[in-house]
């Protein structure tokens, strides 16, 4: 018999009995681990039953440090998409009162037959004596609970702070359900595409307050437990299960407001000793939200956003950015409001911008499955840079270039990554780089479509898919329709085929420019491995010596996957250079013939400002890469890089530092020799460069207190 013979609910109330309950549970789990033939074992939940509403009522006990625990009930409203007498859902690290599982239908009275667990896949498989009928709705009622610890993996866990005066530990609870952790807290259908509304009622001691995605609608007395109350939250919009969030604490809050089209109230809360330094996030978050609201023109259906700033989040990479509730790690976010913009303040601002952008991408707009996460993270990363730029002009340019450079560097190191073949993910490190690539690709789409088309497509996509799941295909489709609305002329490309070449292939292309008299021929190949035959749809933007730098980034030509070389229509006299990939928004590198490199080098020395700063950075980055790949000689590389002694902007210098330092790691003896030779020739210059950079950027500039190396 595999059903857990668990004790009754009253047992929870008594500590001694709780132990007995846990022992029973352990025995029961041992029994559950045996392989059961015929037990549901697919990687995804069956499509037979889908949830649409959760009523959650739970109590969190934080007073007795020896016995921190929560317990509760959940009623999950379900649709039967097929007739079946089995319900499969996620349950992992939480105890279930299996005997008390109930199913309510309109008419029938269901009897539980078996409850089985597939431990490997975190499934609970519940079978009833009669079927749930196709098209009908049901309510599944489950009792659950657990003792609480500080473990992040529990999904819902404890933190504490120390009262400085009394040295007393003050405990609070917080959730972090990001990806597959909610199943450790309560039984749920834990897949991103299974969206539902949530009605959360949290019981707690009256000293505390309850925080969740939505506002507290009412606080009602709890007649069963002395000094306890029920905080009844408003019902959430339809959202992915892992976006549910809650916390019970007695933090102190600041109040601010975003004057967006649909005003959003902000409450920023922390332990009282941190309140002085929460002013920064309390003030900046609404400004960033307002900016994004204006830009995206899609209002959030939210009245409030709560921001909790907590010490001691288990790892620094984690923060929670759920609909209406954001949790930050205090070390990363606490800042003085006055004083200059320092590097750590700038990083804090970036984290806040990331959290605010997630309200649209990831929360309002969801995904069907984790393998599409790069789409919402890529959009978030891109809009994070634009929002940053609003408060710190120039930051978008800098962050976008940094993204691109870091992503290029990572792809070279590992031989290329593709966005689509990447689930389950190997590590947070890989994941970070994946999203950097996605962000760079979103920038490229914005570039080749132009602002009008890109925003038209994006806005309609947000309107149409709010509170639903998006996929890359649907997103490209929205952009395609926008591009068709913009111009009736049919193009020889469509957004989806273009972008599929970038998201599905690993690595990125190298475009090679060949001058043939006054004609220019362009060739494409794989930048990281010349034996590979991959071909991309490459938007080509360029400018010719003497032309004004174009304001927009619409391609003047395309390289297609149908042929690997193409001649441009333009005539370019041999004594003039041509420069490709304006503002470096294309995710590719460019190599020129020796003659053009020399023309570019001469222009850089004469008047480097005549070339856009992002293209200077691109030239620096590309030439170092090409030299390492032995596609240009060190004397060509050196000649092009020579101008940098006069460079006074951040982006080209960063490209140099990234290129050179990366080149010095794990070098082969051959290239070590040429680096030594290069540095020998450049030695004097290099020393000057370092001290110049140091003076200029580290000592004097109020805006940059250190060179901003990629993380
Ligand atoms: C779940 O449904 C049952 C039966 O309708 C009801 O008695 C119970 O109060 C509900 N629980 C919650 C948490 O809504
Ligand atoms: C939400 O839960 C509360 C308390 O259990 C209940 O009174 C209310 O009717 C529920 N609202 C909805 C929309 O389910
Ligand atoms: C939070 O609760 C602790 C313990 O009861 C108490 O000492 C502290 O003053 C409370 N803080 C606030 C801001 O209410
Ligand atoms: C380069 O690509 C070729 C053809 O796809 C492949 O056989 C080879 O292993 C690759 N080389 C490296 C170093 O990855
Ligand atoms: C497109 O929008 C961006 C940011 O909103 C702006 O910096 C850029 O100048 C715009 N480009 C064009 C061609 O209008
Ligand atoms: Zn994110």
pLDDT band per the 50, 70, 90 thresholds, residue 422: low
Sole residue written with tokens 């132009």: 450
Q: How far apart (Å, rounded) are the C-alpha atoms in residues 672 and 304?
A: 57
* Tokens linked to 14: 């008594």
According to the CATH classification, is domain 343-491 in 1.10.1300.10? no
Q: How far apart (Å, rounded) are the C-alpha atoms in residues 409 and 624?
A: 11
Return mean pLDDT, the chain: 86
pLDDT band per the 50, 70, 90 thresholds, residue 318: low
Interval between CA 227 and ligand 3 midpoint (Å): 15
SS3 letters across 428-483:
HHHHHHHHHHHHHHHHHHHHHHCHHHHHHHHHHHHHHHCCEEECHHHHHHHHHHHH
Res 662: pLDDT: 61
pLDDT band per the 50, 70, 90 thresholds, residue 647: confident
Res 193: pLDDT: 93
Look at residues 648, 649, 635 and name the one whose alpha carbon lies nearest to residue 682.
Answer: 635
Task: Kindly state the average pLDDT of the residues 53-76.
Answer: 95
Show binding-site residues for Zn(2+).
354, 358, 377
Determine if ligand 1 sits within 6 Å of the CB of residue 57.
Answer: yes
Percentage with pLDDT > 90 across the chain:
65
Sole residue written with tokens 């790069």: 374
Residues contacting residue 402 through CB under 8 Å, at least 6 positions apart? 654, 708, 710
pLDDT band per the 50, 70, 90 thresholds, residue 496: very high
**For 9-158+177-248, which CATH class?**
mainly beta
Residue 247 contacts residue 211 (beta carbons within 8 Å) = yes
Task: Kindly state the average pLDDT of the residues 103-131.
Answer: 92
Look at residues 375, 383, 409 and name the one whose alpha carbon lies nearest to residue 477.
Answer: 375
Q: How far apart (Å, rounded) are the C-alpha atoms in residues 554 and 549?
A: 13
Angle, alpha carbons 477-197-208 (nearest 5°): 130
Res 540: pLDDT: 95
Interval between CA 234 and ligand 2 midpoint (Å): 8
* Tokens linked to 587: 């995710």
Where b means 16+ CB within 10 Å and e means fewer, 552-582 reads: ebebebbbbbeebebebeeebeeeebbbbbb
Class of residue 22 by CB neighbours under 10 A (exposed 0-12, middle 13-18, buried 19+): middle
Res 51: pLDDT: 97
Look at residues 364, 89, 307, 60 and name the one whose alpha carbon lies nearest to residue 200.
Answer: 60
Partners of 253 in the β-ladder: 269
Res 170 pLDDT > 90? yes
Res 592 pLDDT > 90? yes
Higher pLDDT, 30 or 276: 276
Res 538 pLDDT > 90? yes
Res 421: pLDDT: 67
* Domain ranges, ordered by start, for the chain: 9-158+177-248, 343-491, 603-711
Closest residue CA from atom 13 of ligand 5: 552
Res 469: pLDDT: 87
Res 4: pLDDT: 37
Res 251 pLDDT > 90? yes
Classify 304 in phi/psi space as left (phi over 0), alpha (psi -120 to 50) or beta: beta
Give the tens place of pLDDT for each residue, 296-315. Answer: 999 888 999 999 999 877 65
Task: Kindly state the average pLDDT of the residues 626-653.
Answer: 87
Task: Kindly state the average pLDDT of the residues 65-91.
Answer: 95
Q: Is the dihedral of CA 301, 304, 310, 316 positive or negative?
A: positive
Res 345: pLDDT: 87
Interval between CA 531 and ligand 4 midpoint (Å): 6
Q: How far apart (Å, rounded) are the C-alpha atoms in residues 296 and 2?
A: 53
Looking at 283-292, 624-633, 681-690, which range is the least confident one? Answer: 681-690
Beta-sheet pairing, 195-205 with 538-540: unpaired
pLDDT band per the 50, 70, 90 thresholds, residue 21: very low
What are the CA-CA distances from residue 19 to residues 7, 14, 27, 68, 184 (Å)? 11, 9, 12, 14, 20
Q: Which atom of ligand 2 is nearest to the CA of 53?
A: 14
Determine if ligand 4 sits within 6 Å of the CB of residue 166.
Answer: no
Task: Kindly state the average pLDDT of the residues 436-464.
Answer: 96
Res 29: pLDDT: 46
Among 64, 161, 164, 170, which is best to mutate for testing ligand 3, by the most ligand atoms less than 8 A from CB?
170
Res 316: pLDDT: 53
Task: Kindly state the average pLDDT of the residues 461-487.
Answer: 92
Res 32 pLDDT > 50? no
pLDDT band per the 50, 70, 90 thresholds, residue 694: very low
Res 668 pLDDT > 60? no
Higher pLDDT, 543 or 333: 543
Q: How far apart (Å, rounded) are the C-alpha atoms in residues 280 and 336?
A: 6
Q: How far apart (Å, rounded) are the C-alpha atoms in residues 62 and 56?
A: 19
Q: How far apart (Å, rounded) are the C-alpha atoms in residues 19 and 470?
A: 46
Res 660 pLDDT > 50? yes
Give SS3 for 103.
Answer: strand
């Amino acid at each position: 018999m595999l059903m857990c013979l668990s004790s009754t609910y009253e047992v929870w109330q008594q500590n001694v009995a709780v132990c007995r309950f846990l022992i029973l549970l352990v025995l029961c789990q041992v029994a559950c681990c045996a392989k059961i033939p015929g037990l549901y074992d697919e990687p995804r939940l069956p499509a037979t039953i889908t949830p649409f509403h959760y009523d959650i009522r739970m109590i969190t006990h934080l007073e007795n440090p020896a016995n921190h625990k929560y317990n509760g009930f959940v009623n999950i409203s379900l649709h039967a998409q097929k007739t079946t007498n089995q319900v499969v859902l996620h349950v992992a690290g939480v105890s279930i009162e299996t005997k008390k599982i109930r199913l309510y239908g309109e008419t029938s009275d269901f009897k539980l037959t078996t409850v089985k667990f597939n431990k490997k896949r975190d499934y609970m498989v519940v079978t009833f004596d009669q079927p749930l009928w196709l098209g009908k709705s049901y309510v599944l009622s489950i009792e659950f609970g657990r003792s609480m610890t500080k473990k992040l993996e529990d999904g819902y866990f404890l933190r504490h702070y120390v009262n400085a005066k009394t040295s007393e530990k003050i405990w609070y609870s917080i959730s972090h359900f990001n990806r597959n952790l909610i199943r450790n807290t309560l039984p749920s259908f834990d897949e991103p595409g299974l969206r539902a509304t949530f009605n959360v009622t949290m019981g707690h001691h009256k000293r505390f307050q309850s925080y969740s995605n939505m506002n507290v609608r009412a606080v009602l007395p709890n007649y069963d437990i002395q000094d306890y109350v029920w905080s009844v939250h408003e019902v959430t919009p339809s959202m992915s299960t892992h976006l549910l969030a809650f916390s019970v604490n007695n933090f102190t809050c600041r109040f601010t407001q975003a004057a967006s089209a649909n005003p959003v109230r902000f409450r920023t809360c922390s332990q009282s000793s941190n309140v002085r330094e929460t002013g920064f996030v309390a003030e900046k978050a609404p400004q960033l939200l307002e900016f994004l609201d204006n830009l995206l023109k899609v209002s959030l259906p939210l009245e409030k956003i709560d921001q909790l700033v907590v010490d001691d989040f288990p790892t620094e990479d984690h923060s929670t950015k759920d609909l209406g509730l954001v949790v930050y790690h205090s070390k990363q976010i606490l800042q003085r409001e006055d004083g200059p913009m320092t590097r750590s303040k700038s990083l804090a601002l970036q984290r806040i911008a990331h959290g605010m952008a997630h309200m649209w991408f990831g929360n309002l707009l969801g995904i069907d499955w984790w393998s599409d996460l790069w789409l919402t993270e890529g959009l978030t990363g891109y809009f994070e840079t634009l929002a940053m730029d609003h408060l710190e002009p120039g930051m978008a340019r800098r962050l976008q270039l940094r993204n691109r450079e870091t992503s290029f560097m990572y792809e070279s190191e590992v031989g290329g990554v593709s966005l689509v073949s990447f689930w389950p993910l190997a590590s947070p490190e890989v994941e970070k780089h994946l999203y950097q690539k996605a962000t760079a690709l979103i920038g490229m789409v914005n570039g080749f479509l132009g602002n009008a088309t890109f925003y038209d497509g994006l806005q309609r996509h947000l309107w149409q898919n709010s509170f639903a799941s998006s996929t890359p295909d649907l997103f490209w489709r929205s952009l395609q329709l926008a591009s068709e609305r913009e111009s009736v002329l049919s193009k020889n490309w469509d957004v989806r085929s273009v972008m599929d070449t970038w998201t599905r292939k690993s690595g990125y292309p190298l475009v090679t420019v060949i001058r043939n008299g006054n004609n220019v021929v362009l060739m494409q190949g794989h930048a990281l491995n010349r034996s590979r035959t991959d071909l991309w749809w490459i938007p080509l933007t360029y400018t010719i010596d003497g032309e004004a730098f174009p304001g927009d980034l619409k391609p003047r030509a395309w390289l297609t996957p149908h042929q690997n070389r193409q001649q441009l229509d333009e005539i370019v006299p041999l004594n003039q250079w041509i420069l490709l990939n304006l503002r470096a928004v294309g995710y590719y590198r460019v190599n020129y013939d020796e003659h053009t490199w020399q023309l570019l080098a001469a222009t850089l020395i004469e008047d480097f400002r005549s070339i856009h700063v992002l293209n200077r950075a691109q030239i620096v980055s590309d030439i170092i890469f090409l030299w390492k790949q032995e596609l240009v000689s060190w004397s060509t590389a050196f000649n092009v890089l020579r101008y940098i002694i006069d460079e006074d902007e951040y982006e080209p210098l960063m490209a140099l530092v990234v290129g050179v330092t990366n080149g010095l790691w794990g070098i082969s003896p051959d290239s070590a020799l040429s680096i030594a030779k290069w540095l020998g020739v450049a030695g004097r210059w290099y020393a000057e460069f370092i001290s110049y950079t140091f003076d200029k950027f580290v000592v004097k500039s109020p805006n940059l207190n250190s060179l901003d190396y990629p993380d």
